[in-house]
Structure 1
Amino acid sequence: MPALESHWRVPFPLQIILALIALVAIAVPVALVITTPRVPQHKRPHVVISKRVVPKTELPAVEPVLIQQVAPEDARSINATIPFSNLPNPAARAFRISGSPETQARAVDCLAAAVFYEAGDDAVGQRAVAQVIINRMRHPAFPKSICGVIFQGQERSTGCQFSFTCDGAMVRWIPRAAAWERARYVARLALSGSVYAPVGHATHYHTDWVVPYWSASLEKITEVHTHLFFRWAGWWGTPPAFGRGYAGTEPNVPKMSRLSSAHYGDPSAPLPEADDTSSGVIVDPATIPASAMPAPMAAADGVGESSNFMLTLPKGMTADAFAALAIRTCGERPYCKFMAWADPRLTPAKLPLSSTQVSAMSFSYLRDQSQGFAKALWNCQQFKRPSPVQCMRAQPPVTPPSGAAPASAGDGKLPAPLAGVRRKEPGPAPGKSQTTLTLPVAKATPAAVPTKK
């Protein structure tokens, strides 16, 4: 037995080696844990919010818009934790503006500026913003006029109710002509009884990448694209709270004078440069009678209707009103092609167009919101315009080959590209203005970046 024990005994030198290996196996991981620098964990910022519900006996305060200092990704995470209200979300009552023509013109242009600078050139977002402004005008916590609501707090460099009124946005850029007319169209709809039901009685909204201090104290009721909409909690967010009447007059807002002839600024201030495509006459699309609007053409497959319009221009209509007629006819369509002829004998009944019809076309308008493009063009051989930029390219009729029967005005047997509607052109050379539709006010500039409330 002693001989067997001696046979299995581990030699002393090997014991030392095994002990060292075990020591290293323990020491190395410990050393790595101790010496490896710690990676700081990302902490979501602390957000201070108020949960107080204002009682019916106390009018809620309208606080300046203050944004919490959080990164956009944190803001989206925080906003996602605020649940949507499960209470009913009834639509607001229709509102129809009253008052003098000057008052109504001021309201339309104030509202158009607000929906454009707040929602960009997006008809759905613009309708939602317009509804919030009308809701505020009817609520006793806010001013009693459209312009008063929009420009509340404009005298402050920070803390105004709509940031574009006090952050210099209206000085830095002016909407393109076609975009401005679309914004005015949305404004007129909202002031003529159109209701955007999804936002209900919302009085507040903000983009999802910011966190206002008031966001969790109100009821979140819906979202439209990247904007979240809220109403006051308790009685002040219910329909009976929105029963106040309209003031019936609109204040003059000097900041609006660059956009609107209904508002006037400092008489000693220099006038903004005019758009070099303007004829000097601005025609409001709302003044175009419904009887002058053509029906859309049938779709190519015969089912439904297309976004193409062809018509004979109404007798006696001035050339300055053609663009207004096109905008009124196209309505809210994101894509629209409007083609018009002064001579009813050359007005085609269907597409494609013959070369004779193309060369005889008197006016064209093309809108493509997906490309941010809208352009009106006149046949300057028929109608004089102040700038060649407004003119179609000359398209002389194609002479048929010798012995061939001439094509009739409506046969469509000689298809040709619609030269009267230009494709989107490259940007202007430095120092030159880029022009679009010839309707409103000042030199065209890039579209505004949506802001938040």
Structure 2
Amino acid sequence: MTRPSQARSPAWLCAVLAATAIVAVAVPALVVTHPPAISQPHTRVAVHRRVVPAAELPPVEPVTFIDLTPEDAKAFNASVLFSDLPNPAARPFRFAGGSEDRARATDCLAAGVLYEAGDDTEGERAVAQVVLNRLRHPAFPKTVCGVIFEGQERSTGCQFSFACDHALTRWTPTADAWRRAREIATMALAGTVYRPVGYATHYHTDWVVPYWQASLDKVVAVHSHLFFRWTGWWGTPPAFNRQVSSSEPVIAQLAPISDAHKMGGALAEADAALLDASAALGLVAADGVAGETAPFTASAGDGDSFFVTLPWGVQPELYPTIAAKACGERKACRFSAWSDAAKTPAAAPLTADQVAAMAFSYLRDRDAGVERTLWNCTKYPRPDRHQCMKQQVLLTAVPVATATPVPTATPVAELGGVRRKGDAAAPDTAGAKRPSSAFPSAASSARHLPLAGQP
């Protein structure tokens, strides 16, 4: 018998098997010699969350960051949920200090919002609210400047980074940016509230993760900034009950952009200018010693009214201080000031243009218990409308003929913005009438005192 021949595999199957064998060997070898780029998972951040009890003041940690790339930080921040607890708006805050302290507080807050948030109105308002929240919280300093520049003595770890990273020497804001920042600071110190951040006391950009973040609740995002408040009782409105101080410190590093923080800066210039003017006018010191001038205690018998040109660059908040120094110890004094030397009158009466151009007025009558400071709010807006001059219109009286003309005293133009009762004229021993001695209006009684920087 013959044996049947063995069946042979088709050619195509052999080719498939050969190709499979080659791929099975080549692909692993290729992977080993040329490994593909495998994206690393985001770094996991282990955080310890602790709620500080009401009996313990929460610590204010220095601003140090977890070592993460910006991408990892953004991914982590996105994973942190916003708090679902109520986020009430903060109570309005109104600064109660004097004019010099207010000027320092305003410029500290303006620097804080501008250097932290840039020239961005919403961001600046949010930062201003955080500063005021800290001001009222017992864990932070009790002055505006103290809050902003907390930790400035350290090279690292400031609460606001610009205060210790030399930003103030590396970048100077434009005049418009500084003006806008000061306007926001002024409104915040006058009671304006930025509601979205509530009682937040901390914030950071979304590309970093500070260590303190774990102990706080995330409440809102404003652009690229995330805002946080303390957990538990310390993040609730009753915790923000600290009595603040209105005695603002001078911050030397603000001197290049703030007259209010120059050691004796603007006021020293004003003092020197008034001293020169007093000497030129021959005013003697209160003790009557000839040849010794005293710019703010001049005791000339008719020197109770001043027409002054304000020096350029002096902040409006400092005008009352300059006026008080000029008036010295006088029981009655009228201080009227203009920012434009061309509009400053040499004597009364005033023209309508001079009245409208007046920048500031100060009125003192201690016998009547009157002391008022008023600004021209068309030039210098004030948070309180009662600090604004009334816009007065000078009218020319039309004489009316009568059968028996009655002699009248020569009318004297009122100084714009001075709100007072009319002074009653009293007869002197000779029977003539004269203005009240408390506020002489004769041309000889007005002192034209140009201050620093003016001709």
Mapping of residues 216-235 of structure 1, within 5 Å? 216-235=214-233
Mapping of residues 126-205 of structure 1, within 5 Å? 126-205=124-203
**Alignment check: 8 A CA contact 2:103 2:318 kept:** no
For residues 164-201 of structure 1, the C-alpha deviation after alignment (integer angstroms, 9 at most, x for no partner) is 00000001121111111111110010000111111000
Q: Provide the TM-score with structure 1 as the length reference.
A: 0.58
Structure 2 CA distance for partners of 1:10 and 1:163, relative to 1, 3 Å: same
Structure 2 CA distance for partners of 1:195 and 1:25, relative to 1, 3 Å: closer
Task: Work out which of the residue numbers 289, 302, 312 in structure 2 matches 1:281.
Answer: 312
Structure 2 CA distance for partners of 1:259 and 1:15, relative to 1, 3 Å: closer
Task: Work out which of the residue numbers 57, 69, 84 in structure 2 matches 1:86.
Answer: 84
Q: Distance in 1 between matches of 2:354 and 2:179?
A: 21
The aligned residue for residue 211 of structure 1 is 209
Task: Work out which of the residue numbers 357, 368, 371 in structure 2 matches 1:317.
Answer: 357
**Superposition deviation, residue 138 in structure 1:** 0.3
Structure 1 unaligned runs (5+)?
268-278, 289-311, 330-453
Structure 2 CA distance for partners of 1:187 and 1:39, relative to 1, 3 Å: same
The aligned residue for residue 44 of structure 1 is 42
Q: Distance in 2 between matches of 1:18 and 1:111?
A: 78
**Superposition deviation, residue 282 in structure 1:** 2.8
Q: Distance in 2 between matches of 1:247 and 1:117?
A: 24
Structure 2 CA distance for partners of 1:12 and 1:142, relative to 1, 3 Å: closer
Q: Distance in 1 between matches of 2:87 and 2:144?
A: 23
Task: Work out which of the residue numbers 48, 53, 56 in structure 1 matches 2:54.
Answer: 56
The alignment status of 1:248 with 2:246, answered yes or no, reads: yes
**Superposition deviation, residue 31 in structure 1:** 2.5
Please tell me the root mean square deviation across aligned C-alpha atoms, in Å: 3.5
Q: Distance in 1 between matches of 2:158 and 2:253?
A: 14
Structure 2 CA distance for partners of 1:2 and 1:231, relative to 1, 3 Å: farther
Structure 2 CA distance for partners of 1:255 and 1:31, relative to 1, 3 Å: same
Q: Distance in 2 between matches of 1:12 and 1:196?
A: 83
**Alignment check: 8 A CA contact 2:99 2:318 kept:** no
Structure 2 CA distance for partners of 1:325 and 1:164, relative to 1, 3 Å: farther
For residues 27-71 of structure 1, the C-alpha deviation after alignment (integer angstroms, 9 at most, x for no partner) is 223333333325243232242423011111110000110122222
For residues 125-183 of structure 1, the C-alpha deviation after alignment (integer angstroms, 9 at most, x for no partner) is 11110000000010000011100001110000100100000000001121111111111
**Alignment check: 8 A CA contact 2:254 2:261 kept:** yes
**Alignment check: 8 A CA contact 1:50 1:216 kept:** yes
Give the greater-gyration-radius structure (CA): 2
Structure 2 CA distance for partners of 1:25 and 1:166, relative to 1, 3 Å: closer
Structure 2 CA distance for partners of 1:18 and 1:195, relative to 1, 3 Å: closer
For residues 183-227 of structure 1, the C-alpha deviation after alignment (integer angstroms, 9 at most, x for no partner) is 111001000011111100000001111111122321000011111
Task: Work out which of the residue numbers 33, 36, 54 in structure 2 matches 1:35.
Answer: 33
Structure 2 CA distance for partners of 1:244 and 1:208, relative to 1, 3 Å: same
- For residue 214 of structure 1, give the secondary structure of its aligned residue in structure 2: helix
The aligned residue for residue 69 of structure 2 is 71
**Alignment check: 8 A CA contact 1:201 1:231 kept:** yes
**Superposition deviation, residue 313 in structure 1:** 8.5
Q: Distance in 2 between matches of 1:2 and 1:237?
A: 101
**Alignment check: 8 A CA contact 2:204 2:226 kept:** yes
**Superposition deviation, residue 259 in structure 1:** 1.7
For residues 405-447 of structure 1, the C-alpha deviation after alignment (integer angstroms, 9 at most, x for no partner) is xxxxxxxxxxxxxxxxxxxxxxxxxxxxxxxxxxxxxxxxxxx
Q: Distance in 1 between matches of 2:118 and 2:232?
A: 32
Structure 2 CA distance for partners of 1:13 and 1:316, relative to 1, 3 Å: closer
- For residue 262 of structure 1, give the secondary structure of its aligned residue in structure 2: helix
Mapping of residues 414-433 of structure 1, within 5 Å? none
Q: Distance in 1 between matches of 2:113 and 2:16?
A: 79
**Alignment check: 8 A CA contact 1:220 1:231 kept:** yes
Q: Distance in 1 between matches of 2:23 and 2:30?
A: 12
The total of aligned residue pairs comes to 293
Q: Provide the TM-score with structure 2 as the length reference.
A: 0.58
**Superposition deviation, residue 9 in structure 1:** 1.8
Moved more, 44-53 or 146-155: 44-53
Mapping of residues 403-414 of structure 1, within 5 Å? none
The alignment status of 1:106 with 2:110, answered yes or no, reads: no
Mapping of residues 370-409 of structure 1, within 5 Å? none
Mapping of residues 265-280 of structure 1, within 5 Å? 265=263
Q: Distance in 2 between matches of 1:194 and 1:173?
A: 28
Q: Distance in 2 between matches of 1:202 and 1:42?
A: 34
Structure 2 CA distance for partners of 1:239 and 1:15, relative to 1, 3 Å: closer
**Alignment check: 8 A CA contact 1:285 1:325 kept:** no
**Alignment check: 8 A CA contact 2:114 2:124 kept:** yes
Structure 2 CA distance for partners of 1:313 and 1:82, relative to 1, 3 Å: farther
The aligned residue for residue 385 of structure 1 is none
The alignment status of 1:26 with 2:27, answered yes or no, reads: no
For residues 50-103 of structure 1, the C-alpha deviation after alignment (integer angstroms, 9 at most, x for no partner) is 301111111000011012222222211110000000000001111110122111
The aligned residue for residue 115 of structure 2 is 117
Question: 1:202 is matched by which residue type in structure 2?
Answer: A
Question: 1:203 is matched by which residue type in structure 2?
Answer: T
Q: Larger relative CO (CA 8 A, sep 6+): 1 or 2?
A: 1
